[in-house]
Amino acid sequence: NNARPVKHTFCAVVIAISAILAFVGSFQFVVASSSAVQKEEIAIATIDNYGDATLSNKNNLDASKETEANYISTKFEVSGKVQGVSFRRYTQAKATELGLMGWCRNTPRGTVEGEYEYEEIEGGAVAASSFQRWLCNVGSPKSRIDECKFEEKEVVSDRPSFDEFVIIR
């Protein structure tokens, strides 16, 4: 059976690419053997900025496009040295890169708070998880992150509440 070696080879390739390109950015590529293409058994692999890989069957992705999307809203607050270090600008850039919509602003408490929405599909959840890790561990180059708080709401609607990710001044 040829499927088993292809599967193992793919896993090794994903691990190698993940390790080498962990900080390049998220990207997708198609994975298929010649016999799989004939049967339309194609998979889409997504690797995010942290090297986390997810594999989705093309047929499952096509089916999810036919269903109505739901959007999840998450509020966040980040404390530490996050004001006066371009934290909001970097946060906006990261959210936009990941396809998230929402807002962020400085607070009188010296923190940065905000809210973002993502589509309740596999790619949206991966983007939200990557964004949370980025907020808690990376931030702007001169920031120091002491604490991150997240409050996820249930499904907020079948349409996004925001058109883009903005900084509120």
| 39 Cβ neighbours under 8 A, 6+ residues apart | none
**Whether residue 17 has pLDDT greater than 80:** no
| 37 Cβ neighbours under 8 A, 6+ residues apart | none
Ranges assigned E (strand) in 32-169: 43-47, 53-57, 71-81, 101-106, 112-119, 144-157, 165-167
| 99 Cβ neighbours under 8 A, 6+ residues apart | 118, 123, 124, 127
pLDDT per residue as tens digits for the range 137-154: 999 999 999 999 999 876
Say which of 2, 4, 70, 88 is annotated catalytic: 88
pLDDT of residue 69: 72
**Is 88 known to be catalytic?**
yes
Most trustworthy range by pLDDT among 66-80, 81-95, 112-126: 81-95
Most trustworthy range by pLDDT among 17-21, 86-90, 125-129, 156-160: 86-90
Say which of 106, 109, 137, 159 is annotated catalytic: 106
Give the residue, 8 or 128, on which the prediction is more confident: 128
pTM over 0.85: no
pLDDT of residue 48: 53
**Whether residue 11 has pLDDT greater than 50:** no
**Is 105 known to be catalytic?**
no
CA distance 11 to 9: 5
